[in-house]
Amino acid sequence: KAGVTQTPRYLIKTRGQQVTLSCSPISGHRSVSWYQQTPGQGLQFLFEYFSETQRNKGNFPGRFSGRQFSNSRSEMNVSTLELGDSALYLCASSLGTGEYGYTFGSGTRLTVV
Amino acid sequence: AQSVSQHNHHVILSEAASLELGCNYSYGGTVNLFWYVQYPGQHLQLLLKYFSGDPLVKGIKGFEAEFIKSKFSFNLRKPSVQWSDTAEYFCAVPDSGGYNKLIFGAGTRLAVHP
Q: pLDDT of B7-64, one tens digit each?
A: 889 999 999 999 999 999 987 666 789 999 999 988 899 999 998 889 999 999 999 9
Give the helix/strand (H/E) hosting A45: strand A42-50
CB contact under 8 Å between A55 and B98, yes or no, is: yes
- Residues from chain B contacting residue A43 (CB–CB below 8 Å): 90, 102, 104, 107
pLDDT above 90 for A113: yes
Closest residue to B101, CB basis, from A56, A103, A104: A56
| Closest approach of B68 to chain A, Cα-based (Å) | 18
pLDDT of B2 = 79
Give the chain A residue whose CA is nearest to the CA of B96: A98
Q: Average pLDDT, stretch A21-39?
A: 94
pLDDT above 80 for A2: no
Mutate to test the interface with A, among B4, B100, B102, B108 (most CBs of A within 10 A): B100
Q: Average pLDDT, stretch A78-102?
A: 87
CB contact under 8 Å between B103 and A45, yes or no, is: yes
Q: Which amino acid is at B68?
A: I
pLDDT of A97 = 64
Q: Average pLDDT, stretch A61-86?
A: 97
| Closest approach of B100 to chain A, Cα-based (Å) | 4
What's phi and psi for B94, nearest 5 deg?
-65, 140
What percent of chain A has pLDDT above 90?
82
CB contact under 8 Å between B100 and A33, yes or no, is: yes
pLDDT of A56 = 87
Q: What are the residues facing A46 on neighbouring strands?
A: none
The neighbour count for residue A48, using CB atoms within 10 Å, is 28
| Closest alpha carbon to A25 in A99, A93, A102, A78 | A93
Average pLDDT value over all residues in chain A: 93
Q: What are the residues facing B77 on neighbouring strands?
A: B20, B64
The neighbour count for residue A52, using CB atoms within 10 Å, is 13
Q: Distance (Å, rounded) from C-alpha B74 to C-alpha B84? A: 23
Q: Average pLDDT, stretch A7-16?
A: 97
Give the chain B residue whose CA is nearest to the CA of A59: B101
pLDDT of A10 = 97
Q: Distance (Å, rounded) from C-alpha A30 to C-alpha B70? A: 35
- Residues from chain B contacting residue A105 (CB–CB below 8 Å): 43
Pairing of strands A74-78, A64-68: antiparallel
Give the helix/strand (H/E) hosting B74: strand B73-78
The neighbour count for residue B18, using CB atoms within 10 Å, is 10
Q: Between residues B79 and A55, which one has the greater pLDDT?
A: B79
pLDDT of B99 = 59
